[in-house]
Amino acid sequence: MPPSTFVSARPVMTQPLLLVLRLVFGLLTLIAIGWQLTIHLGHGYSVLNFFSYFTNLSNLFAATVLLLGAYHLRATGTTQNEALRAASVVNMVVVGVVFAVLLRDVDLGSLLPWINFVLHTLMPCVVVADWLLQPPRTRLGARQVLLALVFPAVYLVYVLVRGNSIGWYPYPFLDPALVGGHGGVAAYAAGITATFAAVAWLVRVVGNKRAITQETT
């Protein structure tokens, strides 16, 4: 039986338009985060606390991936490392899901409404759309799925250790005092971990399905 070659599906969008959109949304995200950081510092809050929010870190990563993607399209006509793109999609999907399920009715303090919309709603949609409109050029395996889970796992350990040390947690569902103790935190952490694993698997399946397998002669 002849071997098969994995070839990326034809992009739905032209490269110049995709490049412009990646630049626009990447820069918009950086502006939104920078604007909110300025407000945060103006209120005398900690810089480290600001960058301890998974939303901020994930959006910074997503913006970087979009801008690098624009650069690669401009310089070489190709996309960048697909594992980075996949990790960005996984992070941003979970950001959107967790916000919609757990944080929509939580007091967001000084977070401006338009920045909240960009970080929690718009960017998750943009990153998913980018993944669908510019499918991966290489097949994603289990290794890429596991790599996408490394950062969330490290983040969770960091937040819990630091929170236990200073008594501050970026999210209410990670604060033992608000969820009935460490057992409640463990339950939320397990649920979110399962969500990450499911999303990572789905991103892999959809990414591979959006590509074409053709027989070589």
pTM of the prediction?
Answer: 0.88
Contact (CB, 8 A) for 78 and 137: yes
Q: Given this model, what pLDDT does residue 205 score? A: 92
Query: What are the average pLDDT values for consecutive 10-residue runs of the chain, which has 217 residues?
Result: 48 78 97 97 95 98 94 63 92 97 89 96 97 86 89 96 96 96 96 96 91 41
Region of 216 (left: φ > 0; alpha: ψ -120 to 50; beta: rest) is beta
Domain range for 183 is: 4-215
Q: Given this model, what pLDDT does residue 149 score? A: 94
Q: Given this model, what pLDDT does residue 22 score? A: 95
Q: Given this model, what pLDDT does residue 76 score? A: 58
State how far the Cα of 196 lies from the Cα of 3, in Å rounded to an integer. Answer: 33
Give the C-alpha distances (Å, rounded to integers) separating 115 from 30, 34, 53, 59, 124. Answer: 11, 10, 14, 11, 13
Q: Given this model, what pLDDT does residue 73 score? A: 74
Q: Given this model, what pLDDT does residue 215 score? A: 30
- Domains held by the chain: number: 1
Residues forming a β-bridge with 212? 7
H or E element at residue 214: strand 212-215
Contact (CB, 8 A) for 174 and 188: yes
